[in-house]
Amino acid sequence: MSHMLLVSVIIPTHNRRASLLRCLDALAAQDMPMDQVEVIVVADSCHDASEQAARAYAAEAPFQLRVASHAARSAAATRNLGAQMARGAVLVFLDDDMVILPGCLRAHLHALQSYDVSIGYSQPIIPDRPTHWQMGARQWWEDRFRAMEVAGYRFSYHDLFSGNLAIHSELFSRVGEFDLAFAGRLEDYELGVRLLQTGAQFAFTRAAHTRHYEASDLDTWVRRVGYDGEAEVQMVRKHPALRSLIFGDVLAVADTVTKVMIRVAAATIDQGPQIEQVLVALIRFAEALTLRHRRAQLLRVARDYSYWRGVARAVDGGGRVSTWLRESKPLVLAADAPVLDLADPPLGGTLDALLAAGTRQGLRVTLAGVKVYEVLPHPAAEPLRLEHIRYLLREASRHKILPGVVLYMMQKEQRLCWPV
């Protein structure tokens, strides 16, 4: 791959001609030298003249625009083809339903001066009269992005979103392309696993701003949740260390509804599409009657049913699901895991050196010897460092650490004085 250019923007597209042209128009307005930018559009199984429209656009584009096509019906394969064609030192993967704001590419490039991977902000745009599901989906995305920009956030594999993503091309080549075996679901998460295992550092870059005109609806979401269930089993088979993380404590923490959904989903694999259609219809009925609590309950049932049906398909039939879960051991903290005592924090000791370098062992947090919190080992996250500890302690202080403080004070027979 010759690095004659600074950045290669790779856009996979499938039958979204109007969205693609809007995406290209936004790229043309970027505030950086266009002679350092190439755009690669890869049309996958298009029959709406997307490829022809892109080729016509190339004649007037202010950047180099190259167009390819194939019939893979796979976003992973389409992105990989674009990466193979790319000549830039930096790859930017951009979905065709994104509108990139001025400064986005420059912000990605600035982030990559200090980090290996830049995850851009993809602002979800929903209709003027959205459904409750669309509003909930927007809130889910915004919550994820807000969490990632807090100082000390510990990135893990499920933070890698390929719709607005920048990465050094050398790193992408070295780690390997998107895995085609994942058939369009969670292939970005799987790439995230491999990147983090090599020590890659992630950054969330809010200034790398796009508007995401997501066209998904409730029906699509329910189907995708099922595909996610299949893909997570596949993820565990490729990366066995993730089994405890994903499935290890399901039976221990699942409530009655989830346990029932696991059994029902496993027993009705073939009838699943019809059952999912009924659940979607019931959700819409509850929404029409503004039965918010009932709608929320049905959304959860639909999500759990579809997900566990996907898991059941992937583990070779419904009868194997319970066995699969029983054989998935929970994550545990090793007896010799590092210990941080809040009553006597070490200064300049072995623990400080360990946290400065980062550890994957996890951490036991105590207060004068009384356990108040545990950070379990995470096989697909950044190594645990001191800034992560500060973030985690801040997030856990009320519900997990405060009870330990109370226990410590009671053991010391100290009086508790609560503010009124």
What 8-state DSSP symbol labels residue 397? I
Q: Indicate whether 58 and 156 sit together in one domain.
A: yes
Question: Residue 265's closest CA among 280, 276, 255, 256?
Answer: 276
What DSSP line would sit under 93-131, residue for residue?
Answer: EE-TTEEEPTTHHHHHHHHTTT-SEEEEEEEE---SS--
- Asked if residues 192 and 182 have their Cβ atoms less than 8 Å apart, the reply is no
Q: Which domain, by its residues, includes 362?
A: 339-411
144 and 270 fall within a common domain: no
Q: Do both 258 and 288 map to the same domain?
A: yes
> Same structural domain for residues 136 and 224?
no
Least confident of 114-123, 181-190, 399-408: 399-408
Beta-carbon-side half-sphere exposure of residue 178 (alpha carbons within 13 Å): 25
* CATH code of the domain containing 25: 3.90.550.10
Greater confidence (83 vs 185) lies with 83
- The kind and range of the H/E element at 72 are none
Determine how β-strand 98-100 pairs with β-strand 202-212. antiparallel
pLDDT in tens, 324-350: 999 999 999 988 888 888 777 665 566
pTM: 0.91
Statement to judge: residues 165 and 277 lie in one domain: no
For residue 333, being part of any structural domain is answered with: no
> What CA–CA distance (Å, rounded) separates 158 from 192?
7
What Rg, from alpha-carbon coordinates, does the chain have? 24
Same domain for 195 and 272? no
Instruction: Based on the fold, state whether residues 28 and 174 are members of the same structural domain.
Output: yes
Does one domain contain both 34 and 169?
yes
pLDDT at 408: 61
Q: Say if CB 191 and CB 272 are below 8 A apart.
A: no
Q: Is the pLDDT of residue 391 over 90?
A: no
**Whether residue 311 is found in the same domain as residue 382:** no
Same structural domain for residues 207 and 262? no
DSSP 346: -
Whether residue 412 has pLDDT greater than 80 = no
Amino acid at 167: I
Given 298, 326, 354, which residue is the final one in a domain? 326
| Residue pLDDT, tens place only, 186-202 | 999 999 999 999 999 99
Final residue belonging to a domain, choices 272, 295, 326: 326
Q: Is residue 331 part of a domain?
A: no
Q: Give the distance, in angstroms, between the CA of residue 271 and the centroid of all CA atoms in the same chain.
A: 30
The span from the CA of 103 to the CA of 210, in Å, is 10
Bigger pLDDT: 98 vs 395: 98
Q: How far apart are CA 289 and CA 141, in angstroms?
A: 26
Asked whether residue 420 is assigned to any structural domain, the reply reads no
Bridge partners (DSSP) of residue 381 are: 156
**What average pLDDT does the structure give for the chain?**
90
pLDDT digits (tens, 9 = 90+) for 61-108: 999 999 999 999 899 999 999 999 999 999 999 999 999 999 999 999
pLDDT above 90: percentage of residues in the chain: 71
In a domain, 402, yes or no: yes
* Within a domain: 368: yes
Given 291, 326, 361, which residue is the final one in a domain? 326
Q: Is residue 57 part of a domain?
A: yes
Summarised one tens digit per residue, pLDDT across range 234-249 is 999 999 999 999 999 9
Instruction: Check whether 252 has a pLDDT greater than 70.
Output: yes
- Give the orientation angle of helix 218-238 with respect to helix 292-314, to 10 degrees: 40
Residue 132, SS3? helix
Residues 152 and 132 in one domain: yes
How many domains, the chain?
3
pLDDT at residue 302, rounded to an integer: 96
Residue 419 lies in a domain: no
**Residue 80: both structure tokens together:** 């990989």
306, 365: one domain: no
Helix and strand numbers, DSSP H then E, in the chain: 17, 11
